[in-house]
Amino acid sequence: MVINGKVIFIAQERSGVSTRTGQTWKSVEFVIETNERYPVKIAFTIFGEDNITKANLKMGENVDVVFFPESHEFNGAWYTELRCNDICQNGISRFAQAQMFR
């Protein structure tokens, strides 16, 4: 799923240690507003320090976000989170572009 929008919010970075693997993790939540007649706001998460760096999102920037929806159950209720698979601008993938210049 790809949605185009302008970055209107960037949350503080969150981090912690996985209880399952013992590895540290980082994530940042972003919100874009679509460029439609009736704009909607969509919150999503970029998970992993490398991906956060590659995305390099800035306030007011217009981007295409490739989403990966994921749901999980907790105490009988279902919760859905939108994770970012890629950020594209002018048809160029930031995640793939970062790999090319390593």
Residue 85's pLDDT is 85
C-alpha span between 30 and 84 (Å, rounded): 10
What is the arithmetic mean of pLDDT over 15-31? 93
Domain locations in the chain as residue ranges: 2-100
Residue 100's pLDDT band, with cuts at 50, 70 and 90, is: very low
**CA nearest 59: which of 16, 95, 30?**
30
Architecture of domain 2-100: Beta Barrel (2.40)
Residue 68's pLDDT band, with cuts at 50, 70 and 90, is: confident
Residue 101's pLDDT band, with cuts at 50, 70 and 90, is: very low
Looking at the chain, the whole-number percentage of residues with pLDDT higher than 70 is 94
* Percent of residues in the chain assigned helix, strand, coil, to nearest 5: 15, 60, 30
